[in-house]
Every structure is written in structure tokens, then in C-alpha cells.
Structure 1
Amino acid sequence: MAHTDMPLAELLKHLEKLAQRSLALWDMPPNASAELINVSENATYLVEAEGGYKAILRIHREQYHSRRAIECELAWIAALKEARAVVTPDSYTGKDGEVIQEGRIEGLENPRYMVLFEFVEGTQPDEAGDLEAPFEELGEIAARTHEHSKVWQRPPNFERLIWNVETIFGRQTNWGDWRDAPNVTPEVGRVLGRVEGHVRTRLESFGASEDRYGLIHADMRLANLLVGPHGTRLIDFDDCGYGWFLYDFATGISFMEDDPRVPALKDAWVRGYEKVRQLTASEKAEIDTFVMLRRMALLAWIGSHIEAPEPQAMAPDFARVTAELGQAWLDRIDAT
């Protein structure tokens, strides 16, 4: 989760103390308390108080985003909502007039950035159910965010992550090297080395023109869609940054790339997307390339976040299945 040698269990104890003590930085009921609901890049807490008060507190991972980068994330969230491109959650201003708060706690060497978000009523689509309708909606939402990103006048000194070949495969990666992930055997490594080479070649040819590459959500999984009484909301822009628009489809099927429903979900996503903006034949032909790019990024993520429960659960088979997906993709390329 963070660039620290501290065991995760110990780190979470410190972060829980920080969360509870930091609630006073915002105007909320005095009896409010925070409960951890997710740990990944950040630690996320549900804040509740008597009388029905609810909010979401995000304590940022150390050394992942600068304060300016978080400001830019919040600026895009607000702009998307103002333009009615998609419905996004609000963030709350602290007592000092700042949206981004900074907190320290004994036991942690460095302070942490924190943001308090509106609690959004709703549920995420059920992955075990029929996903074609949610993916069609997801495609439409993705297209609206991409259309907005093409015309939005960004604030000065705009700073966000970059999701391209070099930040996934290069020397300065966002999530580390896939080769360092658990169970990357020599055989798996040989297959994925060929996959990386073909992904690099194809995306270099594909190009990064403004109609294909821009500001993207970069984590548009079903877990980040909440369907509620007031429509569908897109949450968790923590990974938003510059990348290929089609990468957002690949993030949508994160961790389920081997699901037999994926071809139908891809078709549904494209249907939804093309309600807003058209895709060329050459763009559609490269969607599977972005799936492999994302899958290998996730393999690296598992390796660099192995102390967290979700990566631990996936680690035993993820490298092997990634190689199987990669070999099948290479076989399809050779057949065309």
C-alpha cells in the first residue's frame, strides 16, 4: 500500500488513530467515528454519527500523489459534475477552508493527506449477475468523461499520473515491475516478455493523438460505479491521469479478464460508448491490446502491494493466468 517497511497491520493501527483524531478537522457531529472499509492505494473509512450522518474519509498513501496532484483530481471531479458529464461525489471543506487536510500521528514518520467525500447511496453492479447492461452504461459514462477531457481547460500546473507503456513497463513505473510479482516463473516470464514486446510495438503504431489519448479515469471498474435512487455515480478518481481512452475499458474488466463473458461485455461497452462518440475500426481492433497492458499492470500492482488482503488472495494464480491470456492474445495476433 505504501513505500514503507512497516507491516500492514501495524500501519493500519496508526492510520485508524489518525482517522479518528482527524475528524475534528471538519464540521461534523462530535460523536462521529471512522471505520475502515477498504485498503489499497489509500485507506478509506466510512464516517458515521448519530442522526444519520455519513461521509467517506480517504487517507492518502504516502508518496503516491503530491498535494497538487490531489488538487487536480478534485478539480476534474468538480468540473465533470458542473458540466453534467457524469455525476460525481462532492468533497467537503475543512474548518480551515481547505479541502485537502494534512495530519500527523505518532508512529508515522510523515504526514498524510486526507479528503472527506460525500457519502453516496447506492450499490455496485453484481459481478455474478447479468453485466451487459451495466457495461453498456459504463461505456457511455466513459465516453462522456473522454469528451469532457478533450475540451476542458485544465488548471495551471496540472499534475496527474500517466498511464502509458513507459509508466507500466519502463524504469519509472507507477506500480513496479511485473517481473517482481509472485509466481512469475521463467516460463511465465518468457511468455509475458513476448507480450510486452508486442504491446509496445502495437501501441507505438497506434499512436497517442488527441482523439485517442487524454485525461481518463483509469480505474473504471464496476466497484467504482454506484447505482442509487438518484442515478449512477462514478467514484474514486484517485488513479485518474493521462492515458489512452480505450484503457478505461480495460480497467473495467480488471481482475476478470479470463471471464468467458468478456467478449460480450466488450461489445456492450462499445455500444454504450458509441452513443456518445464513435470508435474507428482500428481503435476497436486494439481493445484487446489495452486489456493485456492493464492485466500486466495489475500483475505489477499485486507484487508491489502484496501485504494487502486483495493482492494476497489473487497472487497464487494471477501470473499463470496472465501468461495464459497473453499466449491466447499472441495466438490471435498471429492468426490475423
Structure 2
Amino acid sequence: MMTPGLIESMQASLAASLPRWGLSSQSTLAFLSHSENTTFLAQDPAARQKLVLRVQRPGYHSPDEIASELAWIDAVIADNVVLTPRPVADRDGHLLCPIPLSGATRHVVAFEFLSGKEPDASDDLATWFGKLGATSARLHAHSRRWTLPSTFQRKVWDFDAMLGRRPLWGDWRAGLGLRDDGRRLLQRVADELERRVEAYGRGEQRFGLVHADLRLANLLVEGDRLGVIDFDDCGFSWFFYDFAAAVSFIEHEPVMDLLQRSWLAGYRTVAPVSRDDEAMLPAFVMLRRMLLTAWLASHSDTETARRLGTGYTDGTVALGDRFLRGS
């Protein structure tokens, strides 16, 4: 479990390593967040430089998988596909840096700092979702045409990886506070989702390399500019699953229909959307909701899990019931 004491210890050890990225002794290091990984903001007033340091969660991604993520980020930046922070190498040219932190060696990646803030309910979310739809379409087009490096390795986010036989984020049946009646209902939902994604298929126009986590927390807006961060969950999945990821934790809100229309309208300014693609969006949203229910249970040490608790699981059951009624 990531306790405040462990974060402080990690922070102190990481601060001592800041010269590795050319930061001066005047630099400060502040904790940002703990979710899948732990992030810190390093600031060097002398050089007027800011870096975001991401400490990788042990046992989640292999070094080759992290290097592959960084390769895609470099490619989308080089091709001017999306605004996103560039990975920063250390003084020896390494992007993935093993550093002793809190008694164990952890991999650390540095990124350029990108200004902006997460969109919130007071913003015009529909407008931002229009921009996000267009951004997603550009990322998907790049994914389809990009030649993967021979060493490229990322996880496959298919049904088995989410809710099936090899769940990467834990078993949804362990959802916080999930009761037997809810478990039985969600099993019916899972069975229906499996049927739908199998029928939809994994052809190359439907399934490929995606960001997989374009939720509000991973967007930075400033003026009319939209930036994207955190490719840590990128992998191979359905392209239109990216919409489901975008509405993470707000999939139950009344604004959902408007956000979907705006996202689709933005997407269609770049690429077509078939009737089959659009018809699958409710299934992908439900798939993502159940996946997040599993994630909260397996990441109970995060602030998100503590804040949402059993209420999120109850909401998943309610959404599952509505999904089945609409089947």
C-alpha cells in the first residue's frame, strides 16, 4: 500500500537524483498523484525548467513495454498528431531510468511539463469532447499507418484482459461492496458484452493501438488548446473503446448523450464512423465501467478508490441493469 510515509521516502530519494536530468541543487520536487504510477513535479528555478517524473508501478509494465509506449509518443509528436509532453532522457541518454527508491529499484520516466488544467463540470465539456473526438480520430489514423518497431510490446485490452480469463486490473467480482444479487446481474452483463464484442470483431479497421485512457484527468486544456497526457495504458484494443475511456467516472451523468454526440461529431471531422461503430459505444462504456469497478477493488490504496468506494460499485450494478433492459 502507498502510504504518506512511503511517498515522502520516495520523494526524498528521487529528489537526490534530480541532477541526473540536469536539474540544479536549487530544484524542488512536489508530489502530484498516485494512481497506477506515482508522479512528481520537479522545478528548477535557476534554469526555469519543469519536469514531471513518473515512478512506474512495480510489476505492471515491463521495461520493453514502457520503451514501446515512449516510442509511440515520440512518433505522434514527430508527426504532429497531438499535443503531448515529450519524454526527456537523462544525462546518459536513457529514457527509462532505474533508480533506488524507498529500498527498491524503481523505473522512472521524465516528461516535459505541459501547462493547463483538467476540464471540469464548470467548463463546456461538449466543446472539449468535440475536440477530443477529432484528436482520437487523428490518433487512430496514425495508429493504422504507423509501422511498429520490431521490439514493440504493449498489452492487449480485449475482453479476456478486462473481464475474462486474464484480467489485468483484477476481477470485477471483487468490486467494493458488491453483493450476491449484484454479482449475478453483472455476470449477465459480462456475458452479453462478450457476445457483442465477439460479434463486432477485431478487424484491422476496428482494433489496433489506442491510448485507452483519454479521460478528463488525462486532458490539459488552456485557452482553446487541448493537450493529452499519460499514454501509460496504451495498448491494442478497439478504436472506439477510446470513447468509453473518455467518459470514465462520468458515464452515469445526464450529460452523457450530449458528450457522445459531440465526440462523434468531432471524430467525423477527421474520419468516418460506421453505424456498427456507433452502435457499439454503449457496450464499450459498460465494459469500461465494469473494468473500472475491478480497478478500484485492486487499487484500494488510491485516493480515487477511497473517494468513490462502494457507491461506484452500486452505480455499476444500476448501469448494468439499464444496459440489459436496453439490450
Separation in 2, partners of 1:261, 1:230: 21
Query: Is structure 2 residue 71 aligned with structure 1 residue 40?
Result: no
Separation in 2, partners of 1:230, 1:69: 33
Note if contact 2:11-2:31 (Cα within 8 Å) is conserved in structure 1.
Answer: yes
C-alpha RMSD of matched pairs (Å): 1.4
Separation in 2, partners of 1:36, 1:307: 16
Deviations 1:104-139 (A, max 9, x none): 13533xx11101110011122223332110001010
Cα 1:30–1:7 change in 2 (3 A) is closer
Equivalent residue, structure 2, for 1:180: 174
Separation in 2, partners of 1:219, 1:263: 20
Q: CA deviation at 1:157?
A: 2.1
Select between 278-287 and 26-35 the one with higher mean Cα deviation: 26-35
1:321-332 equivalences under 5 Å are: 321-332=315-326
Q: CA deviation at 1:225?
A: 1.6
Separation in 2, partners of 1:178, 1:15: 31
Note if contact 1:73-1:237 (Cα within 8 Å) is conserved in structure 2.
Answer: yes
Note if contact 1:92-1:118 (Cα within 8 Å) is conserved in structure 2.
Answer: yes
Note if contact 2:10-2:102 (Cα within 8 Å) is conserved in structure 1.
Answer: no
Equivalent residue, structure 2, for 1:107: 103
1:219-298 equivalences under 5 Å are: 219-228=213-222, 231-298=225-292
Deviations 1:217-254 (A, max 9, x none): 00001221212369322111010010001110001110
Report the 3-state secondary structure (helix = DSSP H, G, I; strand = E; otherwise coil) of the residue aligned with 2:42: strand
Equivalent residue, structure 2, for 1:67: 63
Separation in 2, partners of 1:63, 1:10: 21
Report the 3-state secondary structure (helix = DSSP H, G, I; strand = E; otherwise coil) of the residue aligned with 2:22: coil
Report the 3-state secondary structure (helix = DSSP H, G, I; strand = E; otherwise coil) of the residue aligned with 2:208: strand
Q: CA deviation at 1:10?
A: 4.0
Q: CA deviation at 1:66?
A: 1.0
Note if contact 1:35-1:47 (Cα within 8 Å) is conserved in structure 2.
Answer: yes
Report the 3-state secondary structure (helix = DSSP H, G, I; strand = E; otherwise coil) of the residue aligned with 2:205: coil
Note if contact 1:124-1:223 (Cα within 8 Å) is conserved in structure 2.
Answer: yes
Of 164, 167, 170, which aligns to 2:158?
164
Which 5+ residue runs of structure 2 have no aligned equivalent? none
Normalized against structure 2, the TM-score is what?
Answer: 0.96
Of 15, 23, 40, which aligns to 1:20?
15
Report the 3-state secondary structure (helix = DSSP H, G, I; strand = E; otherwise coil) of the residue aligned with 2:139: helix
Deviations 1:269-305 (A, max 9, x none): 0000111111111111110000000000000000000
Q: CA deviation at 1:7?
A: 5.2
Report the 3-state secondary structure (helix = DSSP H, G, I; strand = E; otherwise coil) of the residue aligned with 2:127: helix
Separation in 2, partners of 1:7, 1:154: 35
Equivalent residue, structure 2, for 1:117: 111
Select between 295-304 and 162-171 the one with higher mean Cα deviation: 162-171
Of 32, 38, 49, which aligns to 1:53?
49
Separation in 2, partners of 1:84, 1:203: 32
Note if contact 1:121-1:229 (Cα within 8 Å) is conserved in structure 2.
Answer: no
Q: CA deviation at 1:49?
A: 2.3
Which 5+ residue runs of structure 1 have no aligned equivalent? 1-5
Separation in 1, partners of 2:202, 2:137: 17
Separation in 1, partners of 2:316, 2:238: 21
Equivalent residue, structure 1, for 2:3: 8
Task: For 2:70, give the aligned amino acid.
Answer: L
Cα 1:261–1:164 change in 2 (3 A) is same
Query: Is structure 2 residue 277 aligned with structure 1 residue 300?
Result: no
Query: Is structure 2 residue 88 aligned with structure 1 residue 86?
Result: no
Select between 57-66 and 6-15 the one with higher mean Cα deviation: 6-15
Task: For 2:43, give the aligned amino acid.
Answer: E
Percentage identity across paired residues of the two chains: 37
Normalized against structure 1, the TM-score is what?
Answer: 0.94
